[in-house]
């Protein structure tokens, strides 16, 4: 046991490793405001996201490390805060200067629950304390007005569209602006033009995560869109059936083609929980998403059950993740949101660790 002083507390905290970033919390510069008053120790751990999946474990490990390494320790008080790391990207700085990270939610196939997953992830991240926005990049079939329960029209202030805030999330959808029947006949360039405007002409302010709900498929329109948006990464939604998994592979290939990292795969409508007896039934061959993720070498973020409550919450305009009584569904989604936030942090840390190109060496 070492004597209690600042240097020894920091030394002890070097035993605490972030399991995702694979380094200790002192090296990562997470430890702030260290103070020792008599025998009492207090400090703050600043995480890279408020939705950190291991925040309680890190806190417990930090308390344990201080208690077991140092002599005569009284109370150990640990506060958790966060500062979301940003995806540093030149194109993003140009079009979305206040937005730290951009996440596309995509699928190779329609109707697998992209919009459901997108709104729930956005609401979950907001609920965890992050500043979140969501864009309906599916101009042909905008779902966000219904799924977020928004009927109003966005206001214009200083010649910029103001996103509409609901459930703690800033929302923009073509459905707020034009009759949905009108957009259906738009050509590809108009669709990507609208999404471009949703980046440049909308006053997003400061955001940690901006989620894009993409239209289904991997055609020209989708390809143009993913090149238009400076993306931190993409989430691919699939259902457990083989056909949908094959489509997920197409989605994966599309993002690979344009060098957008896959933050992970989500398996939706994975299994059914009986409303009466709670029995879990694998309607389709569940587990396919996980196997697929392993094969593709991308993270598996988790699975969401199929349940009428999820469809109803979409129709009612209140994301199910906000419904704490529906623990099986909301818990599954919250876990996925945290895993996603962790993947964004991992990506940003990896990018920072990449050696900068030394231009002096260029001919
Ligand atoms: N886990 C689930 N349990 C029950 N219903 C679900 C689930 N996920 C999605 N749904 C329902 O399935 C339908 C399709 O979902 P959603 O609109 O999110 O899919 P999508 O992939 O965005 O579709 P599109 O390709 O048309 O954009 C919706 O009615 C939605 O409420
Ligand atoms: Mg959709």
pLDDT, tens digit, 9 for 90 and up, residues 244-294: 788 889 999 999 999 999 999 999 988 777 777 878 777 766 678 898 899
Give me the sheet containing 40-47, strands edge to edge: 31-37, 40-47, 76-82
Residue closest via CA to ligand 1's atom 25 equals 110
How confident is residue 355, by pLDDT bands cut at 50, 70 and 90? low
| Residue 282: per-residue pLDDT | 77
What pTM value is reported for the model? 0.93
Least confident residue range of 19-28, 128-137, 246-255, 308-317: 246-255
| Residue 332: per-residue pLDDT | 95
Position 29 pLDDT exceeds 50: yes
- Among 238, 314, 336, say which to mutate for ligand 1: greatest number of ligand atoms within 8 Å of CB: 314
Q: Which of 308, 299, 245, 240 is nearest to 274 (CA)?
A: 308
| Residue 358: per-residue pLDDT | 46
- Taking CA 344 as the corner, what is the angle to CA 143 and CA 271, rounded to the nearest 5 degrees? 55
- Burial of 287 from C-beta contacts in 10 A (0-12 / 13-18 / 19+): middle
| Residue 186: per-residue pLDDT | 65
Q: Are 183 and 197 in contact (CB under 8 A)?
A: no
Phi, psi (5° rounding) for residue 239?
Answer: -105, 165
Query: Which residues have C-beta atoms less than 6 Å from ligand 1?
Result: 107, 110-116, 138, 141, 143, 216, 268-269, 304, 306-307, 310-311, 314
CB atoms within 10 A of CB 350: 11
Query: At a CB cut-off of 8 Å and minimum separation 6, what does 162 contact?
Result: 154, 155, 156, 202, 203
Rounded to an integer, the average pLDDT of 29-34 is: 97
- Among 105, 115, 184, say which to mutate for ligand 1: greatest number of ligand atoms within 8 Å of CB: 115
pLDDT in tens, 63-106: 999 999 999 999 999 999 999 999 999 999 999 999 999 999 99
H or E segment and range at residue 144: helix 144-148
Ligand 2 centre from 324 Cα, in Å?
24
Residue closest via CA to ligand 1's atom 2 equals 306
The ligand 1 atom at the shortest distance from the C-alpha of residue 270 is 1
Residue closest via CA to ligand 1's atom 15 equals 113
Q: β-strands 160-161, 76-82: how paired? A: unpaired
Q: How far is the C-alpha of 74 from the C-alpha of 117, rounded, in Å?
A: 45
pLDDT in tens, 202-232: 999 999 999 999 999 888 888 888 999 999 9
Rounded to an integer, the average pLDDT of 115-124 is: 98
Q: How far is the C-alpha of 175 from the C-alpha of 120, rounded, in Å?
A: 19
Q: β-strands 272-273, 160-161: how paired? A: unpaired
Phi, psi (5° rounding) for residue 291?
Answer: -60, -40
């Amino acid at each position: 046991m070492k004597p209690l002083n600042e240097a020894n507390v920091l030394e002890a905290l070097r035993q605490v490793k972030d399991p995702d970033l694979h380094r200790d919390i002192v090296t990562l510069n997470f430890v702030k405001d260290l103070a020792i008053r008599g025998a009492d120790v207090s400090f703050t751990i600043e995480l890279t996201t408020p939705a950190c999946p291991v925040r309680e474990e890190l806190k417990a490990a930090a308390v344990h490390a201080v208690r077991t390494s140092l002599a005569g320790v009284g109370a150990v008080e640990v506060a958790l805060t966060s500062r979301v790391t940003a995806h540093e990207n030149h194109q993003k700085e140009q079009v979305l200067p206040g937005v730290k990270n951009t996440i596309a939610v995509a699928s190779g196939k329609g109707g697998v629950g992209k919009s459901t997953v997108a709104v729930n992830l956005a609401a979950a991240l907001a609920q965890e304390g992050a500043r979140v926005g969501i864009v309906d990049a599916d101009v042909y079939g905008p779902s966000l007005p219904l799924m977020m329960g928004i009927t109003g029209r966005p206001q214009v202030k200083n010649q910029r569209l103001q996103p509409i805030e609901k459930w703690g999330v800033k929302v923009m959808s073509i459905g707020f602006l034009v009759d949905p029947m009108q957009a259906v006949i738009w050509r590809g360039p108009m669709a990507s033009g609208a999404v471009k405007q949703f980046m440049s002409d909308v006053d997003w302010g400061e955001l940690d995560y901006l989620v894009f709900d993409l239209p289904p498929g991997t055609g020209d329109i989708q390809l143009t869109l993913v090149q238009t948006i400076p993306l931190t990464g993409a989430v691919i939604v699939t259902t457990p059936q083989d056909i949908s998994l094959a489509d997920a592979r197409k989605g994966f290939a599309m993002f690979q083609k344009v060098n957008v990292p896959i933050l992970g795969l989500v398996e939706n409508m994975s299994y059914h929980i009986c409303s009466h007896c709670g029995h879990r039934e694998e309607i389709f061959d569940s587990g396919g998403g996980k196997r697929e993720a392993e094969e593709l070498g991308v993270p598996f973020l988790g699975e969401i059950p199929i349940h009428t409550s999820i469809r109803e919450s979409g129709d009612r305009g209140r994301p199910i993740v906000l419904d704490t009584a529906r623990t099986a569904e909301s818990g599954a989604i919250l876990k996925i949101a945290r895993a996603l936030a962790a993947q964004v942090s991992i990506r940003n840390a990896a990018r920072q660790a990449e050696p900068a190109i030394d231009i002096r060496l260029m001919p």
